[in-house]
Every structure is written in C-alpha cells, then in structure tokens.
Structure 1
C-alpha cells in the first residue's frame, strides 16, 4: 500500500500511544485493555464514538489520542461487538491481524461524561473479576 489516498476508507483507532503519520499499529504488543498479554488482533472503527471509547478505556498514563488509520490487510467484525453479543455491528468496530497505517490524528473530539467513563471502567473490571473473557482471546 502506498501513501494515503482521499478515496480510501479511513478508520479511527483510539489509544494512549503517541504515534506519528506513517507509523504502523501492529498486533503482538500489549492491548489497550489488558497489559498482561500480547494482543492477537488490533482494532479500528468507522465511528468516532467507538474510537473515543477506545482512547478513554485504554490502559496507561499517556494522553488519550485518536488516529485516522488505513488497514494494510483484511479486516473483520469485532466479535465482542457483533452478532455474538449484539445484533449487527452497531459501533462499526473491526479487528485485524494485519497492521494499520496511521494517516493522521483527530485533534479535537468530545470525551464522554466522566461518570459515564467511570461506569464503563467499573463494568469492564466486573467482567474481569467474573473471569468473563473477550471473544478476541479465543
């Protein structure tokens, strides 16, 4: 894949990683949500809201960031957010084992309400405590 094209579908990726245009986001590193294991997949979304959640829920102390990314290989529905748990793919969230190329950064975006983020983090912690795993771990 060459440089960014204005006619390619661009997706969003929320994280706390500090990346530059041209950088590749690749599987095999700690995931945004579980630092104890290497991620088998990386995730992107066609909606800004899902990427905002990714940035807000990411583990780490870095600044919350949202990147515009292009997949370099095939993408598929994220099973945690599709038919296995929710009808369809309402967040337009996808996963891939192929890298994503950073083509830009969203500089201005609106965070969710702090109480909403706190509630979501508590919910994720509750799932971990109950040993309810992500379908992406299988």
Structure 2
C-alpha cells in the first residue's frame, strides 16, 4: 500500500479494521481477562498508560512480548477490543508512513480470547539492541 492510499484508523471508523488482534506481554493471563489502561507500561514502570496497545501482526506482538519487563516468559495473546480504537500515533506517521506496523491503541479494555503458542521471532541481536535503547531512555520507539 502506498502512503497516499492509506486511510487513518480513528475512533470513528475503527469498525473497518478486522482482526484478529494481538497483545504481547510477559504477564500470565487467562482467556476472559481484560487488559485495561491505567496500569504501568510493559517497558517503563514509571509510566502509567492511558491506552492499551495492540496489533494485527503476531510478529509485532511477539516483539512487544520479548521487550516487556518482567520475569515471565514472553506471551502473545489474541485480544478483542471492547470499544473504539485508533492508529497508534507513536508509530503512525511519526516513525513510519501510514501504519505498516498495524499498531492500534484503545482507552477501552481488550478481552483476552486466546493465546498464540508460537510466532515468527526477530533476530536475538535485534531484540538485545532494542532492549538497550529502551533502557537508555529511548522507550518512545515502542511505547
């Protein structure tokens, strides 16, 4: 898709976007649990999140899970938005034209409807470099 063909996803037109959707974390959650805004970031415990973030790309959610803080294993959950959502403005048109990462955010909860057992992994060196950048205060690349 060319940038000029891209139609931004907003809370008004989010119904045009079909899942499945995924959320990556290290938290041990169950089907039926709700992911809600108002909790600390997966990447910086000093930041309270106003939105819950998700993607329609399993590999992207896997990257988020790999980078997340915590002792648990990386997990990718299949999630269903319970309300309106929009393109993640942290990556959409700031870092990448359009929304090639297929990243979204919602102020409304996401319901966990399943868990992926496997997904395409990134190169371990890439993960380490991103983790270093996040720890060095460049968390805006993924938050």
Bin for the TM-score computed over the shorter chain: 0.7 to 0.9
Q: Where does the alignment leave 5 or more consecutive residues of structure 2 unmatched?
A: 1-17
TM, length-normalised to structure 2:
0.80
Q: Which residue of 2 aligns with 1:3?
A: none
**1:5 equivalent in structure 2:** none
Hey, which bits of structure 1, 4+ residues long, moved more than 4 A?
Answer: none
Report deviation, 1:30. 1.0
**Residue 136 of structure 1: how far off its partner (Å):** 9.7
| In structure 2, C-alpha distance between the alignment counterparts of 1:135 and 1:118, rounded to whole Å | 14
Q: Does the Cα contact within 8 Å between 1:13 and 1:66 map onto a contact in 2?
A: yes
Pick closer, same or farther for the CA change 1:133–1:118 going to 2, 3 Å. Answer: closer
Q: Partner residue of 1:64?
A: 74
CA contact (8 A) 1:79 1:85 kept: no
How many Å separate the matches in 2 of 1:119 and 1:134? 14
- Alignment RMSD (CA, Å): 2.0
Q: Within 1, Cα distance between the matches of 2:117 and 2:106?
A: 25
Q: TM-score, normalised by structure 1?
A: 0.83
Structure 1: gaps of 5 or more residues: 1-7
Deviations 1:70-106 (A, max 9, x none): 0001111111111122101111000111000000000
The separation in 2 between residues aligned to 1:57 and 1:133, in whole angstroms, is 10
